[in-house]
Amino acid sequence: MEPVRSHETTVSGTLEGVIAAADWLHDVADEERLPGDLAYALEVCIEELLTNLARHGGLTAGRGEKPPNPPPTARLSLAIAEDSVELVVEDDGNAFDVSAAPAQPVRQPLSEPRSAASAFA
């Protein structure tokens, strides 16, 4: 059984942090010789999570207001084994309370795939 190889970094919840995380992932993917499709999927996940942190985790303020200083941070951990990869992203931004979010209408069964265009209908 091959041991798990771990990689970690900490980035800020800013646009610069998103770029730094992508650069970190590219370096890890090259070092570990990850398949391109796997590296791409991990990059998309990281970019989405960090963009959400920047937009909703306390970085942004109301229009015309300065964002908090310092911005939130995120710790990324990537554990790689012979047959699995685990990405963990932990941040110190504001928590999202799903129970306080307004209900969204469901226009089709969840089992049916939807196109990107239908998400904005």
- Tens digits of pLDDT across the chain (121 residues): 667 999 999 999 888 999 999 999 999 999 999 999 999 999 999 999 999 888 878 755 555 556 556 789 999 999 999 889 999 999 998 887 778 878 888 777 767 766 555 544 4
CATH number of 5-93: 3.30.565.10
Q: How much is the pLDDT for 79?
A: 97
For residue 101, with 0-12 CB atoms within 10 Å meaning exposed, 13-18 middle and 19 or more buried, which class applies? Answer: exposed
Output DSSP code: residue 2.
Answer: P
pTM (global) more than 0.75: no
Cα–Cα distances in angstroms (integers) from residue 89 to residues 73, 115, 117, in the given order: 10, 27, 29
Per-domain boundaries in the chain: 5-93
State both tokens at 21: 């995380």
CB 54 within 8 A of CB 60: yes
Angle at 20 between CA 81 and CA 116, to 5 degrees: 80
Angle at 46 between CA 40 and CA 52, to 5 degrees: 135
Cα 104 to its chain centre, rounded Å, is 23
Q: How much is the pLDDT for 119?
A: 47
State both tokens at 76: 């990324």
